[in-house]
Structure 1
Amino acid sequence: MFDAIVIAGRNNAGALRDCSGEFYEAMIRIGNKPMVSYVIDALKESGIVGKIVVAGPKQLEDFLTDDCVSVVQTQYGIIENAVKALEYVDTSAPVLIATSDIPLLTAQAVKDFVDLSLKYDADFFYPIVSMNEVFNRFPGMERTSAQLKEGRFTGGNLFLVNPDAVPRSAQKAREFVNSRKSPLKLCRILGLKFVLKLILNRLSIPELENKVSEVLSIKVKAIITKHPEIGIDVDKPSDYSIVSQYLNRSA
């Protein structure tokens, strides 16, 4: 069994404001329940998750009443929230970390990702999904993706981490997250040659793993999953519309 952390502290101050008046994105209702509840249900139903710590606002306690779920109030960025939440879980084993905005996540996707990850020796496991899988399952869904030698992939929002590796990688991870929308800053972190190869679609998955491992000073492994739900995050109205239709049909 693994403990899990769900990052759920983001204010609803962006594009999703047009879809809901909730103050936090995790509390936006899709179908018949808040977005974060779908993620928690998938983790619980996987059969491999014990304790779940939700890093987010105190208001989440009003509906997250399961005995295995606790809320840790946070007020910082995603990296800081993850580090804070690690104080409340069992760090003698790998820990799952998920964001609260992937309501299509399934128990099978969680279990398969962990099973595949445990075949390798690494500190940080990151899921990637072929865009063909995304388009086949969710036609019309727009995702940020990258063309690699092995194909075009999008990233997922569920991670398996070695808790001991978090302190030594947190600062670099914070820099990377803060720089992700600035090509110039990314070049400084990753190197111009690497960024050019990425732009020219000449990077392979092993090259990407090696570079990120070097930058973060930990061993990173990309896990190819056939579950597109793991990478369908809701961060704009078009995502909200498609995901709402899917969940309403599934209800």
Structure 2
Amino acid sequence: MSAPVLILAGSRPDGLDPIATAEDVPHKALARVGGLTLLERAVAAARAWGASEVLVAANNPAVEDEVRRLGATLLPTASGPSGSVALAFERTGAPLLVTTADHALLEPGWLAALVAGTPADADVSLMLARREAVEAAAPGSQRTWLSLADGDWSGCNLFYLASAAAPTALATWRRVEADRKRPWRIAARLGWGTLWNFLRGKLTMAEAVARIGQRIGITAALVAATDGRAAIDVDKPADLALVRALAEAQ
């Protein structure tokens, strides 16, 4: 099926970004991999998947110019990523796929896998990658891991808002992202029974995602990435060097 794809390309609140500084560009979305800007690569992947429209939330003048050059739809940003997604969702409604401009290795197949892997009754879904898959695809890659009963997981910056109830999840997902290095806090949001299962090493990632959804009154689902490269975004110069090497090898 086709759906709009939103690419988040907002600026950091402090205006500082190590990639922009290292690459001497106004915004990290304008750093280049394989001759293309990061934003251009994300837009191309969305179009190759068959997006009905490609939208970019940006607030940097140079990035806004790049959005226009690429022929994508420019949208305003909010105070944070989840707010920007909420603004876009008001325009598009469901369904809506969401990713980020620094997803330099994004492939159409990952978008297709997220949609296909989302249960029919789910309001939202997100893609995560197992540590084994990431390390197989990119040995030595430094990621932030969530450790649960079924192993270590890393986010893939890929979300699917499948129903009109999806915006209910945005505030909660923002808090989960803020606590990504403190998984016990994520479990605590789900109630004492779930926290107890986490402490006993009995809580799986799929259960955690589902229970977060239940807690806020929606159905949420995990879609596991089969390609570990889906978890590699560009937050620091070492990440950029890695994706350049992977893109060249590919």
Q: Do the two structures share a fold, i.e. TM-score over 0.5?
A: yes
Structure 2 gap ranges (5+): none
Counterparts of residues 68-107 of structure 1 (less than 5 Å): 69-89=72-92, 91=93, 93-107=94-108
Change (3 A) 1:211 1:108: same
Q: Find the counterpart in structure 2 of residue 108 from structure 1.
A: 109
**TM-score, normalization: structure 2?**
0.84
Checking the alignment, whether the CA contact within 8 Å between 1:127 and 1:222 is kept in structure 2 is yes
Q: Counterpart of 2:165 in 1: which secondary structure? A: helix
Q: How many Å apart are 1:199 and its aligned residue?
A: 5.8
Q: In 2, distance between residues paired with 1:180 and 1:155?
A: 9
Q: How many Å apart are 1:177 and its aligned residue?
A: 3.9
Deviations for 1:145-198, whole angstroms, at most 9, x for unmatched residues?
A: 233333332221111113522443334344444455567865763446645644
Q: How many Å apart are 1:127 and its aligned residue?
A: 0.9
Q: How many Å apart are 1:46 and its aligned residue?
A: 1.3
Q: In 2, distance between residues paired with 1:185 and 1:198?
A: 10
Q: Find the counterpart in structure 2 of residue 139 from structure 1.
A: 139
Checking the alignment, whether the CA contact within 8 Å between 1:18 and 1:237 is kept in structure 2 is no
Task: Give the counterpart of 1:19 among 22, 26, 32.
Answer: 22
Q: In 1, distance between residues paired with 2:48 and 2:176?
A: 33
The RMSD of aligned alpha carbons is 2.6
Checking the alignment, whether the CA contact within 8 Å between 2:7 and 2:56 is kept in structure 1 is yes
Counterparts of residues 151-190 of structure 1 (less than 5 Å): 151-180=151-180, 186=186, 189-190=189-190
Q: In 2, distance between residues paired with 1:130 and 1:182?
A: 18
- Tell me which moved more, 208-217 or 195-204: 195-204
Amino acid of the structure 2 residue aligned with 1:137: A
Q: Counterpart of 1:76 in 2: which secondary structure? A: coil
Change (3 A) 1:144 1:179: closer
Checking the alignment, whether the CA contact within 8 Å between 1:94 and 1:163 is kept in structure 2 is yes
Checking the alignment, whether the CA contact within 8 Å between 2:19 and 2:236 is kept in structure 1 is yes
Task: Give the counterpart of 2:52 among 50, 62, 67.
Answer: 50
Q: Counterpart of 2:105 in 1: which secondary structure? A: coil
Identity of aligned residues (%): 23
Q: How many Å apart are 1:62 and its aligned residue?
A: 2.3
Checking the alignment, whether the CA contact within 8 Å between 1:83 and 1:166 is kept in structure 2 is no
Structure 1 gap ranges (5+): none
